Amino acid sequence: MIGSTRQIRVFVHREPVDMRKQYDSLAVLVAGSLGADALSGDLYVFVGKTRKRAKVLYWDGTGLCLFAKRLEKGLFIAPWARPSAGPLAITTTELALLLEGSELVGRTPLSPAPFSLAANGFGLVRRREHIE
């Protein structure tokens, strides 16, 4: 099961992918096209040329998992039609919308940026160790 934590990053491959590809060939795409490590624990999404099928590659700590979905009605987004360089980074919430066939994914940020203490001007406070 994929957790719903904001710590999991999701990347969508921007080119159409042959949906006959399986674990190893999709992992090669992650390394080559996305410049990432398929064993990082992040989610990597691939959409077929017809936009009726999508696959998600995920390392769960013990092995590669491959989730596949075929839409009966509607189409997945066409990430190759979204002008930008590199993979499309989305949140897990946006991934849920993508897998439902929503066209809103990738057009505008649907979730706020992850909260970071350092980004908000707060320093990290370390606990003092009590030595007795």
Residue range 88-130, pLDDT digits in tens: 888 888 899 899 988 777 666 656 665 565 555 555 544 444 4
Query: Does pLDDT of 131 surpass 60?
Result: no
pLDDT of 66 above 70? yes
pTM for the full model?
Answer: 0.77
d(CA 65, CA 3): 14
Whole-number Å distance between alpha carbons of 88 and 66: 19
- Give 102: exposed, middle or buried? Use CB within 10 Å, 0-12, 13-18, 19+: middle
CB 57 within 8 A of CB 44: yes
- Buried-exposed string 16-26: b where 16+ CB fall within 10 A, e elsewhere: ebebebeeeeb
Q: What is the pLDDT of residues 20-63, one digit of tens each?
A: 999 999 999 999 988 899 999 999 999 999 999 999 999 999 99
Q: Which of 19, 14, 10 is nearest to 95 (CA)?
A: 10
Question: Which comes out higher in pLDDT, residue 79 or 39?
Answer: 39
Q: Are 57 and 33 in contact (CB under 8 A)?
A: no
* Tokens matching residue 114: 């992850």
* Predicted pLDDT of residue 64: 95
Written in H, E and C, the secondary structure of 10-24 is EEECCCCECCCCCHH
